[in-house]
Every structure is written in C-alpha cells, then in structure tokens.
Amino acid sequence: MLKRLFTKHRSQITDHLVAGGLALLAVALLTSDATACPTCREGLAENDPHGQSMAAGYYYSILFMMSMPFIIITTFGSFAYRSVKKAEAERAVTKQ
C-alpha cells in the first residue's frame, strides 16, 4: 500500500523533499549573517548601559511581534468556536 502510494505521488514527494532541502541549506548558510544585530552586539560587548537597554528593548519588541500572530489566531479561533456553539445551542432550542 505504501509503495503504491509512493509511486503514485513520487513527483510531489520529490518536489517537497527538494524544497525542504533547499530551505535547510539556506538556513545553514545564512546563520552567520543573522547572529545579532550590530547595535545589540556592540552594546553588549562594550558594557554600555545605554546599549544594553537598547538591546533589551529590541528583545522585547521582537517577542511582542512574534506573539501577535498567535494572539490574533487564538482570538479569531475562540470567536469562531463560540459562534458555532451558540448557533448549535439555538438550533437545539428551536428543534424542541
């Protein structure tokens, strides 16, 4: 069964593997460039209080930006779930 499935979708599987391999290669090659932003690296290396507070500000802003998609998706998901449950409850009341 698995062999038949693999032969049927071989080109799709190969395309996905190639795309995944290229993505991993790009990540591996670009990690040296993305080690730190220049301001954070210099501020932490010189023990400059202003630079350290600036680096901390960047850190918290990055955390905030990374959390926003999850908060938005959770909000819309909760709203949709509550709407469906409310509609089901109303439908159950009208059927009785």
Looking at residue 35, its pLDDT comes to 58
SS3 87: helix
Looking at residue 59, its pLDDT comes to 83
Where in the sequence is the domain holding 33, given as residue range(s)? 2-69
Give the end-to-end CA distance of the chain in Å, rounded to a whole number.
48
Report the range of poorest mean pLDDT among 33-37, 49-53, 82-86.
33-37
Q: Is residue 81 part of a domain?
A: no
Looking at residue 5, its pLDDT comes to 57
Q: At what angle do helices 49-95 and 38-45 cross, to 10 degrees?
A: 130
Q: Is residue 29 part of a domain?
A: yes
Q: Is residue 88 part of a domain?
A: no
Number of domains in the chain: 1
Question: What is the reported pTM?
Answer: 0.46
Q: Is residue 13 part of a domain?
A: yes
